[in-house]
Amino acid sequence: MSTIRYAGLWPGLAAAWYRGRLQGLLVALAFAWVLCIVLLATFVWPAWMSGWLVAGIWVLLGAYWVYEAVRAQLTLGKLLENVASDTPEAFQAAQRDYLRGNWFEAEARLLEITRQHPHDVAAGLLLVGVLRHTQRWRPALRRLEQLNLLDAAASWQFEIYREQQLIEREMAEQDDESEEGTDRMSTSQA
């Protein structure tokens, strides 16, 4: 957790990195550009800007950095919390569709939930279950890899591992069945 807090030391980085927010990316890039310009004006081309202007930019940049660092440290917990969907009704409806075997409806709901809340591990795992039941194992394994990269997935490791085992077992069973079918076809042709 301590290394995660360092992301808050660069303005906008935590929001861009952990939430994928465009606003955070723009803030991080703008801060980098201003910092580069003031560094150039201070050390490389000191005659480029007047001394009082460079000093004023340093003061403003430092004050903004302190403000953003403190704000990021205070809001980092909220930023990193295991984000469940704002609409538990949508997740419950997806669960009902899953339990009824309505794979298409469950997948559509879960895709919408995971699009709005990419860190919702429960919705991601349920989506993996839908993909497994519809025998789309490669996309399911890719989703599991994506879930493993989330910090919020730490408490879901058993479920992620179990889904991966089920998918690999079903893939192996299908491979065995296809080999048996190929063997039957070759013996019937002979």
pLDDT beneath 50, residues of the chain: 1, 82-85
The predicted structure's pLDDT at residue 83: 45
pLDDT in tens, 69-101: 888 888 777 666 544 445 688 899 999 999 999
The predicted structure's pLDDT at residue 79: 63
The predicted structure's pLDDT at residue 82: 46
pLDDT in tens, 156-171: 999 999 999 999 999 9
The predicted structure's pLDDT at residue 60: 96
Domains (ranges, CATH) in the chain?
Answer: 2-80 (no CATH), 88-189 (1.25.40.10)
pTM of the model: 0.56
- Interacting residues of 29 by C-beta distance below 8 A, sequence separation 6+: 12
The predicted structure's pLDDT at residue 176: 82
The predicted structure's pLDDT at residue 84: 47
What CA–CA distances, in Å, run from 25 to 10, 11, 33, 113, 162?
11, 9, 12, 23, 36
